[in-house]
Amino acid sequence: MKIVLVVGKKKTGKTTLMEKLIADLTLKGYRIGSMKYTTQDHEFDTPGKDSHRHAQAGAESTLILSPTQIALFSRTMRAKNLDQLLDFIFADCDLVIGEGFKNSPFPKIEVFDTRKHSGLLCLPEDNLIAVFGDIDPLGKVPYFSPDQIDSLVEFVENQFLKEGSKESRFQGFQ
């Protein structure tokens, strides 16, 4: 499984960049998976729905299947072998793009906004592979401005999707 992460401070455009990368790579014919890390617990399932009722009754994990979607809610899955779970979930994907996970060892594209940053969250030794933002704050990794989104998509494609590109395995993400 190949993985690239989009990191940055809050409200810098990470989700917007994710949407653009996913849409453009999908248009090129790639199967893209996505995942998001959040630092806050949220109630993802709606109270009163059957899956929520199952969880309230004590189910550790609830899998919901419909003709077009699948969702998994689990209280304990992080304690299990996450590598196997991700292999299962993203088995049909050419690339998984994650939002967040800034402390993981996987390749990262940092969204940088001088109005919100005083410096980068990640450096090349943190596996920072590119910066996307209003200025190039580092000068040591490829930099893409907002009007260079097509070049960033091409960069991701060349790094992760073309034959002979680098491959990332998900191990011990945070």
pLDDT in tens, 39-85: 665 566 678 777 777 777 777 777 777 788 777 777 766 656 667 77
Q: What is the pLDDT of residue 174?
A: 42
Question: What is the distance between the alpha carbons of residues 165 and 143, in angstroms, rounded to a whole number?
Answer: 19
Look at phi and psi of residue 172 and say left if phi exceeds 0, alpha if psi is from -120 to 50, else beta.
left
Query: How many CA atoms lie within 13 Å of 28's alpha carbon, on the beta-carbon side?
Result: 18
- The overall average pLDDT reported for the chain is 84
Q: What is the pLDDT of residue 173?
A: 44
Q: Which of 10-14, 23-27, 59-63, 110-114 has the lowest mean pLDDT?
A: 59-63
CA dihedral of residues 83, 97, 59, 80 (deg, nearest 10): 20
Q: What is the pLDDT of residue 9?
A: 92
Q: How far is CA 128 from CA 108, 120, 160, in A?
A: 5, 10, 14
Task: Please report which confidence band the pLDDT of residue 170 belongs to, taking 50, 70 and 90 as the band edges.
Answer: very low
CB-CB contact of 155 with 143 (8 Å): no
Is 156's pLDDT higher than 70? yes
Is 102's pLDDT higher than 50? yes
Q: What is the pLDDT of residue 80?
A: 60
